């Protein structure tokens, strides 16, 4: 159990790191961040922040010497960066990053543990892409196997005619067949160092252009009927990885059961509602887990919850939301530039409190 006053190191400088740091401060910890040059909004919530390249071994060594435990706020931290740190500082094995950083690896990993992914094929060339189109058909989606998020590095193929306009980008990709589904949903769990696992309620998630726009509770009958099976897979994966902290798996709710989409070994956008809406937020429970503290309860506190992302220029007048009905809880991330498609904050509205 890490005592108050100890130092938590966070790899990454985005809004997830910012909210993790705020929870760490609440629990009496110090926080040091580490990330390359950029709009590192997490720095505002950290006692110190190291701005250096991921492969700067001297900077990493100095960072590690000042930390009692280290975690990450996004899944694309280079594996070499994590390997350069003393492994005793990492409560969660880097294997979780290794699996999640490659879409082909994560699909195979989920399938090996009993999950059902969408039909998919590895694509290393234009010829592979043609073969995948023939075997899996359309509609489908071509994605880079590594990197890319919120719809980036993805090309939708709605028909064989449209496929002629989609060209292999020159890096290893995955081609996935579309799944007919009622809604998408998340399973978010927290796992302690001792292996205790707790789940938050699963939200129905709405997307636009590959980016999450809204998460809703209740999630609907279809999700409720399938969440048990999805949780079983998530727990099995967490145990197999020896995972510590918050882990997220995303699913499609179909007529034939939950179809695995992807995993994120970190706190997740679809869990932002837990700040106001759950007994303990995903951010606080992540800090509790990596520090060896008792986990907090995950029960939902309200009859209904509506979390929406604030994207791009919508952030410029976001404070007007506070005058709207529905008890809005506004979170702005402090980003300097409101670019199109960039998450600038979120707002959570809650219904009547559960008794």
pLDDT of residue 250: 97
Kindly report, residue by residue over 311-343, the tens digit of the pLDDT. Answer: 999 999 999 999 998 889 999 999 999 999 999
Backbone angles phi, psi at 84, to 5 degrees: -75, -15
Q: Residue 177: enclosing H or E segment and its boundaries?
A: strand 173-177
What residue ranges define each of the domains in the chain, with the CATH number in brackets?
Answer: 7-90 (3.40.50.20), 119-177 (3.30.1490.20), 183-350 (3.30.470.20)
pLDDT at 140 over 60: yes
Q: 238 CB contacts (<8 Å, ≥6 apart)?
A: 189, 191, 197, 247
pLDDT of residue 168: 81
What is the per-residue DSSP string for 293-345? PPPPP--B-BS-EEEEEEEGGGGGGGGGGGGSSS-EEEEE---S---TT-EEE
pLDDT of residue 327: 84
pLDDT at 242 over 80: yes
pLDDT of residue 164: 63
Query: Which single residue is written with the structure tokens 């075997």?
Result: 135
Q: What angle do CA 217, 72, 95 make, to 5 degrees?
A: 95
pTM for this predicted structure: 0.95
Q: What angle do CA 288, 354, 26 make, to 5 degrees?
A: 25
> Mean pLDDT over residues 237-241, rounded?
98
Distances (CA, A) of 233 to 98, 202, 260, 312: 19, 14, 9, 35
pLDDT of residue 149: 61
Share of the chain above pLDDT 90, in %: 87
Which tops the pLDDT comparison, 93 or 159?
A: 93
pLDDT band at residue 148 under the 50/70/90 scheme: low
Backbone angles phi, psi at 342, to 5 degrees: -100, 130
pLDDT of residue 89: 98
CA 66/CA 61 separation, integer angstroms: 9
Query: Average pLDDT of the chain?
Result: 94
> Mean pLDDT over residues 118-142, rounded?
92
pLDDT band at residue 158 under the 50/70/90 scheme: confident
Do 210 and 298 form a contact (C-beta atoms < 8 A)? Answer: no
Identify the weakest region by mean pLDDT among 32-41, 117-126, 154-163.
Answer: 154-163
> Mean pLDDT over residues 234-252, rounded?
98
pLDDT band at residue 166 under the 50/70/90 scheme: confident
CA 312/CA 213 separation, integer angstroms: 12
Do 123 and 157 form a contact (C-beta atoms < 8 A)? Answer: no
């Amino acid at each position: 159990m890490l005592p108050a006053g100890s130092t938590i190191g966070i790899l990454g400088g985005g809004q997830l790191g910012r909210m993790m740091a705020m929870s760490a401060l609440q629990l009496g910890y110090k926080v040091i961040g580490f990330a390359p040059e950029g709009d590192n909004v997490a720095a505002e919530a950290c006692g110190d922040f190291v701005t250096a390249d991921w492969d700067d071994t001297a900077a990493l060594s100095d960072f590690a010497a000042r930390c009692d435990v280290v975690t990450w706020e996004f899944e694309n931290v280079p594996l070499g960066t994590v390997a350069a740190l003393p492994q005793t500082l990492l409560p969660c094995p880097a294997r979780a990053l290794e699996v999640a950083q490659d879409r082909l690896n994560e699909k195979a990993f989920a399938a090996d543990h009993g999950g059902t992914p969408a039909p998919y094929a590895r694509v290393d060339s234009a010829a592979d892409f043609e073969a995948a189109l023939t075997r899996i058909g359309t509609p489908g989606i071509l994605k880079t196997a590594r990197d890319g998020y919120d719809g980036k590095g993805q090309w939708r193929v709605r028909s064989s005619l449209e496929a002629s306009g989609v060209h292999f980008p020159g890096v290893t990709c995955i081609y996935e067949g579309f799944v007919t589904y009622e809604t998408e949903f998340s399973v978010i769990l927290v796992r302690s160092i001792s292996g205790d696992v707790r789940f938050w309620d699963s939200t129905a998630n709405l997307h636009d252009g590959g980016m999450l726009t809204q998460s809703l509770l209740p999630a609907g009958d279809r999700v409720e009927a399938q969440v048990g099976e999805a949780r079983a897979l998530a727990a099995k994966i967490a145990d197999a990885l020896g995972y510590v902290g918050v882990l997220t798996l995303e699913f499609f709710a179909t007529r034939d059961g939950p179809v695995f989409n992807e995993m994120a070994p970190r706190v997740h956008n679809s869990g932002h509602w837990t700040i106001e809406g759950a007994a303990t937020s995903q951010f606080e429970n992540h800090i509790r887990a990596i520090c060896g503290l008792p986990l907090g309860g995950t029960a939902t506190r309200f009859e209904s919850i509506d979390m929406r992302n604030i994207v791009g220029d919508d952030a410029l007048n976001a404070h007007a939301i506070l005058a709207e009905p529905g008890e809005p809880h506004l979170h702005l991330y402090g980003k300097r530039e409101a670019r199109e498609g960039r998450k600038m904050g979120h707002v959570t509205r809650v219904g009547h409190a559960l008794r």
